[in-house]
Chains A and B, each alone.
Chain A
Amino acid sequence: MNNIDVQHINKSYGGVSALRDISLEIKPGELFGLIGPDGAGKTSLFRILTTLLLADSGSATVCGLDVTRDYKEIRHCVGYMPGRFSLYQDLTVEENLKFFATVFNTTIKENYGLIRDIYVQIEPFKNRRAGKLSGGMKQKLALSCALIHRPEVLFLDEPTTGVDPVSRVEFWNMLDRLKNEGITILVSTPYMDEASRCDRIALMRSGECLSVNTPEGIRSTYTRPLYAVHGSFMYKLLIDLRSYPDTYSCYAFGDSHHLALKDGKNDIVGLEKFIREKGYTDVTLELIRPSIEDCFMAL
């Protein structure tokens, strides 16, 4: 069974606590997202699960294997793509792939089916050195190398950071295909908009796991009325909206402000009146469904 089970993991560096009592249960074949800003502890958790780092306390199993006791076996059955490109830049695309196939005691041919969709996109450059690839191509190569031994569990640490929006969408499509192959995928990202592509997500902040649910489930836990507010003089508007007595929180969100009212206070007429009295004439209010980011801000 290629599940991941994390129980009460703690890790601190010096006095700084990076992970605090993290418990997660990831089901076989699930595409699970760790969502959180930089410094949330995502990479530390990855390094513990890929046997590169020892936890201070707690236990974890990957494919039913203990990360400290059975680390050797785990290394056979997981694929890891670190956040930083860490293939050999002075070897060519094909040499890198062949190298990782060989160290896992397999061949490119044996598992070509799994990586074909990804690899065909970089195959025209197979004689180019990895260091000379563009960002998107590097990422595809890294994914190919992490998959070449047909892992049961795939760990992807911020695979889309620094990648253009089109390639990001493409990348998530690839993950969907891999999920259909039955591979359990644990992926981390700081981009909240990618969260909806996961089966389930865990919201993380400063080493703590704030919430674990499906993206839909997380959005449905948001109970306050939420408005997108447009208008001119946005900064002054933000300050004024924050002074409204029913306001729970108000923050800039793209080209609008998201205004959350206190639970049970949904007096839109009173709100419009407040805005008019402040002297705004062109403000529009729109009741919206909360995004993952709104949920994250509310936690």
Chain B
Amino acid sequence: MKTLRYLLEKEFKQIRRDRFLPRIIFLVPLMQLIILPFAANFEMRNIYLSIVDNDHSVISQQLTDKVLSSGYFQLTDVSPEYNQALASIESNRADIILEIPAGTEKQLGKEGYAEVLIAANAVNGTKGGMGSSYLSSIIQDFNREKGFDSGMSLSGICSTNLFNPHLDYKNFMVPGILAFLMTIIGGFLSALNVVGEKEKGTIEQINVTPVPKSVFLLSKLIPFWIIGLILLTVGTFIAWLVYGLVPIGNLGIIYLFAAAYLIAFTGFGLAISSVSSTQQQAMFTAFFFFIIFILLSGLFTPISSMPEWAQNLTLFNPLRYFVEVMRMVYMKGSTLADLSVHFGVICFFAIAFNILAVVGYRKSN
């Protein structure tokens, strides 16, 4: 016990004395929390719009104004005919075309409905899809204001966004990024730390002392567990300060999950360090796994839109569960009872990764 305490004291001294590490430990999460949610924003702004107005009427002018005042669109050109507008899409100056045919106003006045054409450039699928749906909802809105029928409003579909009424991506991304941070701190730092001792040869000197391997590994695990929890605290504070985000659910649940999750990923880091002999190898191995974990976590892309085999793969991804937990607690206020399966799975990973680490270390000796 005394040995462990002293080993821990040594770890913290070393971390503190490192010129680079303490800064990076706190800078990385700050940057990620402040920058990423804006960058990983799926809201589309600056969609370039080309309008073909063949009607030249009050209505067509009003519709154009309405579309532009939404803030999503920027007018690139007003073309006299569709082919010219298409040329501007082909040359990548416009993303979407709105064509108002001649006689629209007349037809609206007479029959109460008229057709407009929306054509989107789908090279950038998200931009094309989002752009055309924004545009059609603006047109619907316009119809409603003017008292016209529109095809869609007739069918009476009305959507409500539960738990995130304004579909604010930040509400959605920030908790996910917090989960991602725990992964980096737990996995990367612990792997690099142990391999660092291997590279410097200090592990050799430790190995000839009576310090048991388990105590040595614990002395590597605990500091990053503590740093992880401190970072979580900093992260939730930043989420509140910058984005006004406070978990609807119990903050204690988040800490409970983070504690288990950090044990899982420090174990993962240790397992990587047991098979690598240089920091470069450890870095690359960790990076390889983390990219897969992140892409299959549902952090940036919804799991439900992945092909089935990929969906099945996500079941073996601990990050997926933690991202879900963070979002559920933050946005839905889920309770521990709702999350019991998640907790079981994360604990399972914690045990499995640490067993892997111990086995790896036993083999290498």
Contact = CB atoms under 8 A, between A and B. Distances in A.
A89 B199 CA distance: 13
Interface band, chain A: 20 to 34
A78 interface: yes
A32 interface: no
Interface string B171-201: 0000000000000000000000000000011
A89 B18 CA distance: 11
B156 interface: no
A91 B14 contact: yes
Contacts of A88: 10, 14, 202
A88 B14 CA distance: 9
Interface string B193-230: 00000001110111111110000000000000000000
A177 interface: no
Given A75-B210, A90-B18, A102 B6 contact: yes
B6 A82 contact: no
Contacts, number: 61
Interface of B is mostly: helix
B363 interface: no
A72 B17 CA distance: 32
B3 interface: yes
B110 interface: no
A75 B201 CA distance: 17
A89 B210 contact: no
Most A CB contacts (10 A, CB to CB) among B3, B17, B206, B210 go to: B210
A129 B209 CA distance: 22
B209 A82 contact: no
Contact of B209 (A85, A87, A89, A104): A104
B210 A87 contact: no
B45 to A, nearest CB: 48
Contact of B200 (A51, A78, A89): A89
A86 B205 contact: yes
A296 interface: no
A184 interface: no
Contacts of B200: 86, 89
A221 interface: no
B3 A102 contact: yes
A224 B17 CA distance: 61
B210 A76 contact: yes
B202 A103 contact: no
Contacts of B206: 103
Contact of A103 (B7, B13, B204): B7
Contacts of A86: 200-202, 204-205
Contacts of A84: 201
A217 B261 CA distance: 65
**10 closest residue pairs by CB, A with B:** A86-B201, A102-B6, A80-B208, A103-B209, A86-B205, A90-B17, A75-B210, A84-B201, A103-B211, A50-B208
Given A87-B202, A103-B209, A104-B210, 11 more contacts: A52-B207, A75-B208, A76-B210, A82-B204, A82-B205, A90-B14, A102-B3, A103-B3, A103-B211, A105-B2, A105-B210
Interface of A: 50-52, 72, 75-76, 78, 80, 82, 84-91, 95, 99-100, 102-105, 129, 145
9 contacts: A51-B207, A52-B204, A52-B208, A86-B200, A90-B14, A91-B10, A103-B6, A103-B7, A103-B209
